[in-house]
Structure 1
Amino acid sequence: MPEEDKSSSRKAFILELLSGLGKIEGRTKLQKIVFLGQMELGLPEFFKFDKYHYGPYSWDLTETIEDLIATGYIKEEKEHCGDFVTYVYKLSDFAQSEIKLPSEYIPGDKIETLKKLSELPRSAIIEYVYRKYLPERLNA
């Protein structure tokens, strides 16, 4: 797939994901949801993941999110929780009007599974991913 098409598909995938979930609280949780969607739900493998500080991490995913924020499709909001900042990702009003239904990349039953996953505490998701996937499934 040409790089331009891949980038476009990645962006459409993330927009569908946020459309279905409403929001994702936290950068780490966003990374793990996409990782588990690819590994366990058979979603398109648009993003390559490598071992990083909190488990699987995709530089491509971070770049895609940053592009979508810069172009106004995604809103990144900071929530202060004591000494910590959590980044919350949502579709912008503009993006909500642009989303094409039905989903091209994420079937409805898979969105429901991802929604349940997104409601879990970040620590539970990280623990599950570490237990099941590290280090053998990721590049060292």
Structure 2
Amino acid sequence: MNSILIIGQLLDAVGAVEGRKKFQKLVHILQYLKLIPSHFKFGYLHYGPYSEGLDVELRTFGEEGLIQEEQIETGPYKAYRFTAKEKLTNLVKKLGDSKPLSHAEVVKELNGKSSLELEAISTILYLRSSGKDGKALKDTFCELKPKLAKDFEQRLKAARELEKRVLPKAA
């Protein structure tokens, strides 16, 4: 599956994604849960899992008129709302895979969370995928994300619940 299908189907499922960081975390979580193919390579940066490839694709899709990236008011920071343009929707249909993402309700639920919630959940899943668990997981998370440490248990619970819902044999 290519970027056009992944981004097109994601935007079709949720309508809009508010923020680059949120888009990054959504795609990372969806890849981890195997709801979309592992198309983008994620590393770890200050705000958690990040894919340079996804960032490049979003910018390119904007330049090519496939997605609308409009600046929105969010206080002191610039943020952007991403929506699919008709050109992207038509390309997805032409590629022959216009079926919606599986677990669309999970995708919508994730999109309804704040970018900080997704940052925490995505970071936990990233650390788990690199072998961290138990005390080591908590200690590493709290070291990387001191401002989110107070919510660790709640976000870990949310991550585990997602795994159980989508990956019944996991967690």
TM range (shorter): 0.7 to 0.9
Matches within 5 A, 1:101-120: 104=97, 107-120=100-113
Task: Tell me, yes or no, if structure 1 residue 32 matches structure 2 residue 25.
Answer: yes
- Unmatched tracts of structure 1, length 5 or more: 1-5
- Unmatched tracts of structure 2, length 5 or more: 132-171
Alignment-derived partner of residue 5 in structure 2:
12
- d(CA) in 2 for partners of 1:14 and 1:125? 18
Alignment-derived partner of residue 150 in structure 2:
none
Alignment-derived partner of residue 81 in structure 2:
88
- d(CA) in 2 for partners of 1:105 and 1:50? 30
Indicate the structure with greater strand content. Answer: 1
Indicate the structure with greater helix content. Answer: 2
- d(CA) in 1 for partners of 2:104 and 2:96? 10
Task: Tell me, yes or no, if structure 1 residue 99 matches structure 2 residue 92.
Answer: yes
Higher normalized contact order (CA 8 Å, seq sep 6+, divided by chain length): 1
TM-score by length of 1: 0.80
Displacement of 1:96 in angstroms is: 3.3
What is the root-mean-square deviation in Å for CA atoms of aligned residues? Answer: 2.6
Task: Tell me, yes or no, if structure 1 residue 56 matches structure 2 residue 49.
Answer: yes
SS at match of 2:39: coil
Task: Indicate the structure (1 or 2) with the bigger Cα radius of gyration.
Answer: 2
- d(CA) in 2 for partners of 1:115 and 1:102? 24
TM-score by length of 2: 0.67
SS at match of 1:83: coil
